[in-house]
Chains A and B, each alone.
Chain A
Amino acid sequence: MSSGELVLPLVAFLLAPVAGGLLCGIDRRLTARMQGRIGPPILQPFYDFFKLWGKDTLVTTRENLVWAWGYLLLTMVAVFMFFFQQDLLIIFFVLAFAGACLIFGAFSVRSPYSHLGANREILQMLAYEPILLLAAVAIFLKTGTFMITGVFEFGEPLLPYLPLAFVAVLVALGIKMRKSPFDIAASEHAHQEIVRGVYTEYSGRHLALIKLTHWFEIVLILGFIALFWAQPLWIGVVLALGMFVLELLIDNISARLRWAWMLGVSWVVGVGFIMANMVLIYLAGGAIRV
């Protein structure tokens, strides 16, 4: 492995939270503009982060904090593996472990709001997990490997072959970004009936950790979307950013909907679309051969 292969992913990994924070800032600015407001500065998420870091942490149970760290660190492991172009399935498994830590954290306090959020967060995982796994399989059908390196060695953009899988991944993106209509576990905007769902009992420094994790998550999932157009990569990045803006638009024109609806959408539009895409690839004879 040359030093370039080692340094570039490392730099990307270190810049990931910065990019994630900036994206959240853009999100808040754009959302404000769509609502006819001016909105906060782009750097606002960083102000929030540092402010929270400098506050006291109030604790309901110690375990709550332990799981928050687990959530952050495991997500970082997943992002790290992503930039080092590891096995997509393993990355998603690690991401699932990280997501479960958030759920366990919320369950480890006997608080009605965080339990409500945790139960719903489980449903969110149930909704996006099969989509991510199947999307990895769909990519595998073209590239012949689950390693991300294979996407770059494939030499062609994947999107023309995987349009339906791409749409399905957008559903997963919406759920993972916790945006309307999928913000059922922790209402995206505070001051709603479930308070902040899974996040309710966190405060101060540990709330900051959760924000940081969220930035990592956004970078990971947008990075995954960029893989659909990895040749040349800049198109993929633009594509991912475009999809990010699309999610913001959807967020602003829709309300939070019910969990059963979310499951329906993710299993029909998500799983169904990817399976249809696989059948198409298979029929067109473009699938890898045994």
Chain B
Amino acid sequence: MGVESLVAILVIMPFAAALLAFGVKDARVIKPLVISSMLVLMVASVMLLMRVVEAGPIALSPGHLWDNLILVLDFALLAYFLYVGFTSKHPLILALAGIQAVMLPVLKFFILPSGLKVQPVLYIDLLSVIMTLVISIIGGLIIIYALDYMRDHEAHLKLDHTRQHVFFFFMVAFLGAMNGLVFANSLLWLFFFWEVTTLCSFHLIRHDLNAEAIGNALRALWMNLLGGAALVLGMILLWQAGETLSIQDLTGFGTVGAALLLPLALFCFTGFTKAAQVPFQSWLLGAMVAPTPVSALLHSSTMVKAGVYLVLRLAPAYEGTQLSVAIAVFGAFVFMVTSIVAISQHNAKRVLAYSTISNLGLIVCCAGINSDLAIAAAIALIVFHAISKGVLFLVVGTIEQRIESRDIEDMEGLVAKLPLLSGIAMLGMITMLFVPFGVLFGKWASIQAAAVPFSAWFPLVVGFLAVGSATTMVYWTKWIGRMISLVSFERGAVVEPKSFLSYSTILLMVAGAVVLSVFVAPLVNILITPAESTMGYAKAFETAGWHLRSAFGLFTPWPLFIAVALALLLPALLVRVKSDQYREAYLCGGNVPGAEVPSFYSLADQSVKIRTGSAYWESLFGERSLTNWINGAAVILLLVLFVGVFV
């Protein structure tokens, strides 16, 4: 199969499938259609990988017709955003869409020479392929999961008319847009796909059409439009300073002059808005009202990754500048503060949202540190975070459907009620949290990269990373602790209702997270190191057998996996308890014998149930008290980032 057709399958086919699903509306057709197109997408992404590994990066330039089509669609999109702003009486959306609607024609018709062709339009190197793999495989699994989820979701809402066709239209089209985004080398094309993801996100957040969903969707829209406006402005400035709109040209300049730094800073700013970095975190937190597959697909694994992808893609361009240092400090700051705020959250999806923002901050920080090791860490984190967080969103969504609550306190003792789901949830959290899993490999590499004095500000960055790592541990540990809190030693048989598509996709993904972590060394060898070298960075890891040796340390995944498996699985299998060994928990001798929940005798022989729970320490880590300070500090850091460009 030709490269062109592969790219067409990855970018255009999802749009076609989405339109078809939108047209037929019948769930009986949508299901096989979606499953088959997702499978095709996964296969195509793997074929593209083999292609690029064999033959190196692919450059493609479709004809002028496509350029014009993209332009027309650009204006259609902006017109639609203006319409949304107008009907919802949202001045910010009107203003931001209006600015773009003015700047884009100015750029196209007055600044750029007519008939300009950015060469190449699409440039597919290994970094793009890694993103495509994440988008197509993890995204595909999430969409397949969504088929059963949406059926239950609509049954729960008791809708008169199914709206699944709308839902799957945006979900499937989104994958095409993401693939286009990571393939685009022309910034004009990138801008188009960027705006399409904004559109999909807007519609998916407001999918349930209640007041909260609509309000949050509008907020997400204006914040993402702000990024879009920065992107257009950046393009104008870039053309005037460097006469190019090609990312390859931009990153190929070597060290860039001051004039190019401002557009670069604007592009990074665009990335920050999409990746919901502080102070734009509120749109991602608000997006959690959407059905769970949306959160999993757009707000953890893929769309927000577009933001960090852009920052990472441009990293070679700003290497060695003050901008790079400012980005590192900013990212590390976001990593720390969002994980601190996450400690005070009861709401499971909010914890996941904060954790997502936090990990994206870590990736941004790595891009800012901009060394061989840091870039490798960033790519590894993108992959491992996407898969682990995808699992967590899906499993929490399913748990929410079962227990009808997303409060972590309501998950107390869940392992006794839903053993399989909570087991997967715990495994997912452990892959996010502990050595020797992949996310920790990324964290290990990033702390090492930050420890090298890349600038006078490195103590700040590494300090943020160390505190952030510890706070990350706090909220995951608390959550796992809630689920494993068990009452009684006698457990009845549990019947866990299982729907095939949901459970199989979740299981596949969690197995993928573990297997990928085990095979981290080949992954680094085959994907990450070559991806880095096409970006112009040197090899960061020597792999001796299964060990990964960086310049400063040694990561030995296999011995660690064996050790951890022995330490946890062996006792889990071997510890035996006889029934006469059981005693109730210590309650100062006041236990009420045989109580279902541990209880003690109180006044007048009343039986009082004990109450246990996580601590949230709101006085110290409370969202309400911290958010304004955090946003203020982040705005200052962003100002520093922009001012630093001129110094």
Point out residues on A near B: beta carbons under 8 Å.
56-63, 65-66, 69-70, 73-74, 77, 86-90, 93-94, 96-97, 100-101, 103-104, 107-115, 118-119, 122-123, 125-126, 129-130, 133-134, 137, 140-141, 144-147, 195, 200-201, 260, 263, 267, 271, 274-275, 278-279, 282, 287-290
Find chain A residues with CB under 8 A from B567 CB: 69-70, 73-74, 77
For chain B, which range describes its interface: under 10, 10 to 19, 20 to 34, or 35 or more residues?
35 or more
- Structural contact, A89 and B444, CB atoms closer than 8 A: yes
Q: How far is the CA of A137 from the CA of B553 in the complex (A)?
A: 12
When each residue 580-594 of chain B gets 1 if its CB lies under 8 Å from chain A and 0 otherwise, what string results?
A: 011111110000000
Q: How far is the CA of A129 from the CA of B586 in the complex (A)?
A: 30
Query: How distant is A60 from chain B, measured CB to nearest CB, in Å?
Result: 5
When each residue 433-458 of chain B gets 1 if its CB lies under 8 Å from chain A and 0 otherwise, what string results?
A: 11100001000100110111110101
Q: How far is the CA of A57 from the CA of B576 in the complex (A)?
A: 11
- Structural contact, A94 and B435, CB atoms closer than 8 A: yes
Q: Does B46 contact A (CB under 8 A)?
A: no
Q: How far is the CA of A140 from the CA of B481 in the complex (A)?
A: 34
Query: How distant is A192 from chain B, measured CB to nearest CB, in Å?
Result: 13
- Structural contact, B440 and A110, CB atoms closer than 8 A: no
Find chain A residues with CB under 8 A from B65 CB: none
Find chain A residues with CB under 8 A from B639 CB: none
- Structural contact, A130 and B467, CB atoms closer than 8 A: yes
Find chain A residues with CB under 8 A from B480 CB: 104, 107
Find chain B residues with CB under 8 A from A271 CB: 463, 466-467
The binding surface of chain A is classed by DSSP as helix
- Structural contact, A97 and B435, CB atoms closer than 8 A: yes
Q: Does B413 contact A (CB under 8 A)?
A: yes
Find chain A residues with CB under 8 A from B612 CB: 110-112, 115
Point out residues on B near A: beta carbons under 8 Å.
371, 412-413, 433-435, 440, 444, 447-448, 450-454, 456, 458-460, 462-463, 466-467, 469-471, 473-474, 477-478, 480-482, 484-487, 489, 552-556, 560, 563-564, 566-568, 570-572, 575, 577, 581-587, 597-598, 610-615, 617, 619-620
- Structural contact, B463 and A93, CB atoms closer than 8 A: no
Given the interface pairs A195-B586, A279-B459, the reply to whether A141 lies near B470 with Cβ below 8 Å is no
* Seed contacts A66-B575, A94-B435; 6 additional CB < 8 Å A-B pairs: A60-B584, A61-B486, A86-B556, A201-B585, A282-B453, A288-B452
The chain A residue sitting closest to B581, CB to CB, is A59
- Structural contact, A275 and B470, CB atoms closer than 8 A: no
Q: How far is the CA of A37 from the CA of B484 in the complex (A)?
A: 43
- Structural contact, A96 and B473, CB atoms closer than 8 A: yes
- Structural contact, A93 and B434, CB atoms closer than 8 A: yes
Find chain A residues with CB under 8 A from B610 CB: 110-112
Query: How distant is B515 from chain A, measured CB to nearest CB, in Å?
Result: 20
Supply 8 A–B pairs (Cβ within 8 Å), ascending by A. A73-B571, A93-B444, A109-B585, A110-B610, A111-B587, A130-B463, A130-B466, A133-B466
Given the interface pairs A93-B440, A195-B586, A201-B586, the reply to whether A134 lies near B553 with Cβ below 8 Å is no
Query: How distant is B127 from chain A, measured CB to nearest CB, in Å?
Result: 23
Query: How distant is B388 from chain A, measured CB to nearest CB, in Å?
Result: 16
Q: How far is the CA of A134 from the CA of B560 in the complex (A)?
A: 22
Q: How far is the CA of A88 from the CA of B451 in the complex (A)?
A: 13
The chain A residue sitting closest to B576, CB to CB, is A62
